[in-house]
Amino acid sequence: MPDNVLRKVWAYFDAVGPLTGSHWPIAYRDDEPTRLARLRLMGVRAFPSLLYPHKPEMAAWLNDWAAGFAGAHPDVLHTATFFPESSAPAYVETALAAGAQVFKAHVQVGGYDPRDPLLAPVWRQLEAAGVPVVVHCGHGPAPGRHTGAEVFAEVLAAHPELVAVIAHMGLPDYGDFLALAQRYPRVHLDTTMAFTPWAERSAPFPVALTDSLVALGDRIVLGSDFPNIPYGYWEQLAGLARLDLGDDWLRGVLHDNAARLLALP
């Protein structure tokens, strides 16, 4: 993220303890060159800068920053974002024309309704382009005004070909979001924080849903929320390995599924 935005995010998480009683230490509170070096050293071959606005007239400049950041680093994916505002279709079109590979929508932080009529043309643009959009629309870690599977289900009903990637596996409502993926063949889920000891303490993944993980194995992709996580990056990988769903499943989640989804070499 841009440095000033990232520092505000860190300040928010520093205050989470007093606000909720849950300590959230930033595990990778490093400068940008160090963060990039860590990812590369860990073998991460491609990664996005997933940005999101929390107010109007913010998304376009975040998109400009993300395009410049990707242009400066060959292993960084070109990303973009949006907010429900009249200018959104224009700057989304600009981002698509410039080669944006993945979008991010954070319903919880943005505090907006994904069914807002101002977003209808944006969902249509992304649906037509087939460009993935990572959507944080679940109730975790705390419910928002417009979070929940039943809300985003209405977006998908209106845009059934949308390539949506549900952040955090929809935590804590895993079953509801897995059901959406079963209903809509272009819906994926990312693993961010799911299956880690951190998430299992408050929102354990139900063993009864393991068969769904296998059935949808080609539509589950690795997510991490690096660097803003309260534990080591390896814990995300270890949590996935502990599921013991086989090498092919794990290889798909850690590499093949995202490579195919993003049309990477």
141 confidence band (pLDDT: 50, 70, 90): confident
pTM, 2 dp: 0.96
Strand (E) or helix (H) holding 233:
helix 233-242
Rounded Cα distance, 111 and 113, in Å: 7
Q: How many CA atoms lie within 13 A of 62 on its CB side?
A: 25
Does the pLDDT at position 178 exceed 90?
yes
Strand (E) or helix (H) holding 199:
helix 197-202
Domains of the chain by residue range: 28-261
Is 28-261 a domain of CATH 3.40.250.10?
no
Helices vs strands, H then E, count in the chain: 13, 8
Q: For residue 76, what pLDDT is reported? A: 98
